[in-house]
Structure 1
Amino acid sequence: MATTANFSERKNVRQANELTISGEHIDIKHLKLRDELKGKQILQTYLTKDIPDYPTPVEFHITELKHVTNKHCLPGILNSGGFLGHDSLSWWNLKITQADITEAEERYLESFFPNSSKEERRDQQPFLSEFTTSPLFSETSRYGNYRFTFPLTTLMEAYKKQICDGEEPVLRVYGTKLFKQEIEYVVLVHSAQFNKKFQHLPHLASSPLVSYDGNKIIWKAQAICETHNFQLAKHDNTVVIGGMFSHQFYVWDHVSFVFHITNILPLPKGSLIESLECCEIDPDIDLSKKGSFSNLAKAKEFLKNLPECELEQDEKEEYNTFEEIEKEAD
């Protein structure tokens, strides 16, 4: 792989150490070969490990995005009727369901055993859920108690109409971010009017790990476990899992979509409320800047006591328009 730039080290807005490179999505194999990373202390514990066989890569087809926030920011989202961004960027993560995991397992088996029989497929025991244990797949959150979830097509169509004046959004490779145990591949979404501003970033089609076909995100996940308790073995034309003598910690990877928003991405308040749910905070890591409740019941009570959002007539009309957007996206 040709290298055009090196990783830079900094503290992010949450004061966590991160290594970043712009305009590239670099897979784990090539990250391990990067000379400028070999001496970085924050990566030595996990990235350099050799892990027993596990499912990799696993292709997920994702149709939803989620945005998590805390109790301090939630009222602002509801009152303003949409999403703002830090430094004009609104950050979203993939929402992966059990159905997505099941379909990814089927694709993995098809690629691993292309000549397997119907009987062998029938006898194959489910296995991927034993490995999808990284924070990405958890129902808990590290960033706050309040999670908004939208269909990808609905969100992109709203962005197209509200931000892009009806033109198709532009998707680019924003970069790769490395933390002690986490690898984040970032995709930038922006309006065509900012092509000059972001022309230094390649289009998403150049990414070896993430693609977008207008209806779904296709992600080739490399490290889905974080904590490895099982290993994978091949038996005839099926796979079996076995326990490990001792669990192993490793890196985990995920994808973020960042929407470039200079003002606000407005969404009907009724839609915002319908998409909102409470979630528990990760018991080990809380990155919400103390803006979270450790108790889920308290989080629900806070939401319940927020001023009720009553849809006025103009808001109802806006909500109907949003329903039309959803239909167009379908």
Structure 2
Amino acid sequence: MAAGFAPGTNQHNIPELFHTGKHISIDDLKMRDDIRRNEEVQRYLSKTVPDYPTPVEFHVTEVSHVTNMGSVQKIFNSGGFIGHDPNSLSWWSLKINEADIQAAEERYLESEGLTTDHQPFLSQFTTSPAFDNETSRYGNFRFTFPLTELMEAYKQQMCDGQEPVLRVYGTKLFKKKIEYIILVHSPQASSLPELTSSPCVDYDGNRIVWRAQAICETHNFQLLKIGNQAVIQQLQRNNAEFYVWDQVSLVFYTSKVLSFPKRKLKDIYTYCKLPVDTKLNLSKDKNRSCDEADKFIKSLPDE
């Protein structure tokens, strides 16, 4: 593999390619010789798929941490979140709701010079796991915070009251997924570039601005532009295409516990289903029903 992307496996023992310190767009990934030579990645990245909305800018104000029952017990025992991987990183994902999708659709239409006078359509395309708030591959337990609240806690507990610095941690490639990772760290010297250098994602102090390039996991529709109209056409089932999808992850450097009141943790918990396909269950835990998960959360101490 040429310099830049390094092969490895992630914490779930899944093969990955990782480029540190850069967020590399899909168009640029397609031009790289080292990526062209990787057949596993090329299988989906090189596909020509029906036209779809891209890029689409999402303004996201909430983030989630999803985990299994054993890790929830550790969270309540310690009173919060701490990185358990070798780099002391706590992993979080963007939580995108229906209002975020509708607002992104309006921005997209405006940027393309298209009329907004039609039925909403973007939700037909936001089919990748990045937009799935009902299921998760990583466990039945989701904890969701407003980003501003989580950043304020990090500022006070990890940065001695100074503003945290967001940096470009890198780009991860999997067979079907491209992951753009942001490092949240105290304002210490670092060789990683600040997030302002990223072509894919930004932060304005209150929200993450994600310029999503691949929002469909399965392409069941195509977008036609006729005059100033956006026309959505459903594809025949045998013409549907799988393609890569991208997402943004935030990793908080937490060498000590980022703590919250246990009552607060209970209030922000919601239940997640695991995928029907057991091969996609990366939680290292058995699936819990909603009743089982809720009873477990209620059994944990409030203080």
So what's the TM-score if we normalise by structure 2? 0.94
CA distance in 2, matches of 1:187, 1:108: 24
Alpha-carbon distance, 1:294 to partner: 5.1
Question: For residue 325 of structure 1, what is the aligned residue in structure 2?
Answer: none
CA distance in 2, matches of 1:62, 1:121: 21
For 1:161-200, what aligned pairs fall within 5 Å after superposition? 161-192=156-187, 194-195=188-189, 199-200=190-191
Question: For residue 9 of structure 1, what is the aligned residue in structure 2?
Answer: 7
Conserved 8 A contact 1:81-1:267: yes
Conserved 8 A contact 1:70-1:145: yes
Conserved 8 A contact 1:5-1:21: no
Secondary structure in structure 2 of the residue aligned to 1:45: helix
> What code does the residue aligned with 2:209 have?
I
Over alpha carbons, which structure has the higher Rg? 1
- Give the alignment partner of residue 151 of structure 2, picking from 149, 156, 180: 156
Q: Return structure 1 stretches of 4+ with deviation > 4 angstroms.
A: none
Alpha-carbon distance, 1:307 to partner: 3.3
Conserved 8 A contact 2:218-2:240: yes
CA distance in 2, matches of 1:294, 1:230: 34
Counting aligned pairs with the same residue, the percent is 56
CA distance in 1, matches of 2:222, 2:99: 23
Conserved 8 A contact 2:8-2:15: yes
Question: For residue 98 of structure 1, what is the aligned residue in structure 2?
Answer: 98
Alpha-carbon distance, 1:177 to partner: 0.1
CA distance in 2, matches of 1:36, 1:174: 20
Conserved 8 A contact 2:79-2:261: yes
Q: Could you list the per-position Cα deviations for residues 52-98 of structure 1 after superposition, in whole angstroms to 9, with x for gaps in the alignment? A: 11000000000000000101110111121110102310000000000
CA distance in 2, matches of 1:205, 1:262: 25
Alpha-carbon distance, 1:295 to partner: 3.4
- Give the alignment partner of residue 45 of structure 1, picking from 40, 43, 62: 43
Would you say 1:234 and 2:225 are equivalent positions?
Answer: yes
- Give the alignment partner of residue 299 of structure 1, picking from 264, 287, 293: 293
Q: Please, what is the CA RMSD of the aligned residues? A: 1.4
Deviates more, 1:94-103 or 1:264-273: 264-273
List runs of 5+ in structure 2 lacking aligned partners. none
CA distance in 2, matches of 1:297, 1:180: 34
Conserved 8 A contact 1:68-1:141: yes
Q: Could you list the per-position Cα deviations for residues 22-67 of structure 1 after superposition, in whole angstroms to 9, with x for gaps in the alignment? A: 0000000010111011111221221110111100000000000000
Question: For residue 210 of structure 2, what is the aligned residue in structure 1?
Answer: 219
CA distance in 2, matches of 1:188, 1:297: 35
CA distance in 2, matches of 1:40, 1:294: 37
Would you say 1:259 and 2:257 are equivalent positions?
Answer: no
Secondary structure in structure 2 of the residue aligned to 1:107: helix
Q: Could you list the per-position Cα deviations for residues 87-141 of structure 1 after superposition, in whole angstroms to 9, with x for gaps in the alignment? A: 310000000000000000000000011xx5xxx433x221000000001111200
> What code does the residue aligned with 1:13 have?
Q
> What code does the residue aligned with 1:283 have?
V
Alpha-carbon distance, 1:298 to partner: 3.1
Conserved 8 A contact 1:185-1:254: yes
Shift in alpha-carbon separation, 1:152–1:292, aligned structure 2, 3 A: farther
Q: Could you list the per-position Cα deviations for residues 204-259 of structure 1 after superposition, in whole angstroms to 9, with x for gaps in the alignment? A: 00001110010111000000011000000012212011012310000000000000
Count of residues in correspondence between the two structures: 295
Alpha-carbon distance, 1:5 to partner: 4.1
Question: For residue 314 of structure 1, what is the aligned residue in structure 2?
Answer: none
Question: For residue 142 of structure 2, what is the aligned residue in structure 1?
Answer: 147
Conserved 8 A contact 1:181-1:251: yes
Question: For residue 288 of structure 1, what is the aligned residue in structure 2?
Answer: 283
Conserved 8 A contact 1:66-1:147: yes
CA distance in 2, matches of 1:210, 1:253: 11
